[in-house]
Amino acid sequence: MPGPAREVPVIVKVKDTPPAELLRCPEAPEGFPLAEIGQLSTATRAAAIRIGKAMGVNAGRLRRLVNWLQPDTCRAPAAAPAATTKAPG
Amino acid sequence: MIALGLKLWRAVVGGREWLTLVVVAAIGAFLYVQLAETRADRDRLAAQADLICATAGEPFAASVVLVGDKPIARERGLRCRQRVADLVAFRTDTERASAEVLAAAMREREGKAAVDARAARDAAQALTSATERMEIADAEAERRNRLDRDWWTAFNDLAGLRSPNR
């Protein structure tokens, strides 16, 4: 006469972890060598800025998503270049 | 009036045995009806008990249960009562455990939302300042028609690229 199973909650938390591949932090490849390319047309510069900005925004969003699914996995890249930019006026 | 009363009294005193019989018969009939009603009531209750216990999944009738090799007699209604107690306990435990799971999930979500809100704010700030630097560097490049280190540094920063070794 076994009693009903005890300690079995009706609502169970399901761990729905995505594959590890989807939880990889966005890659941050090494950037362009500084001042190697000296001239680009205005339109090309604008396109480069558009692409670069979208890349940064997407990476930031992916980082937030991964951190939402697995806290403290991805860190924002150190804003190292920021220091060098401000130097010359 | 008094004469009539006396007459009735005499009739009662004269027919005492007969009257006693009538009274006893009346009481007997009353008790018989009561007993029949009680029996019917009891049968209905027993049927109800059987039905309720069958619904709960244990018999109401007395039974013998094997515990290991030892047969143990269970009085009528005991198994059923234990079963109902188990079910009630199960329900209580289940509700409590479920509430705990839900509360924990809500707490976790709130924590995540707070952390993400902070990350979103930081990212927005970083993007704004990177964009500003890029605009300044680009205006300078436009003016001089030349891309200097500042432009590429601002670009690498805006795109989230690591600064090159050179």
A30-51 pLDDT tens trace: 998 887 778 889 999 999 999 9
The interface predicted TM-score of the complex, written ipTM, equals 0.74
Range with top average pLDDT, B27-36, B87-96, B146-155:
B27-36
**Given an 8 Å threshold on Cβ–Cβ distance, is B148 in contact with A45?**
no
| The pLDDT of residue B122 | 93
| The pLDDT of residue A25 | 92
- Burial of A44 per CB tally in 10 Å (0-12, 13-18, 19+): exposed
- Number of Cβ within 10 Å of residue A43's Cβ equals 8
Q: Mean pLDDT across chain B, nearest whole number?
A: 91
Amino acid code (one letter) for B162 = R
For residues B32 and B98, the model is more confident at B32
**Given an 8 Å threshold on Cβ–Cβ distance, is A10 in contact with B98?**
yes
- Per-residue pLDDT of B81-139, as tens digits, reads 999 999 999 999 889 988 998 999 999 999 999 999 999 999 999 999 999 999 999 99
Is pTM, for the whole model, over 0.95? no
**Given an 8 Å threshold on Cβ–Cβ distance, is A45 in contact with B163?**
no
Q: Which residues in chain A are contacts of B155 at CB distance < 8 A? A: 31-32, 48-49, 52
Q: From CA A42, how far away is CA B147, in angstroms rounded?
A: 11
- Number of Cβ within 10 Å of residue A52's Cβ equals 22
CB A17 within 8 A of CB A69: yes
CA of residue A31 relative to chain centroid, distance: 16
Q: Which residues in chain B are contacts of A53 at CB distance < 8 A? A: 127, 131, 134, 158-159
Amino acid code (one letter) for B73 = A
Min Cα separation A23/chain B (Å) = 16
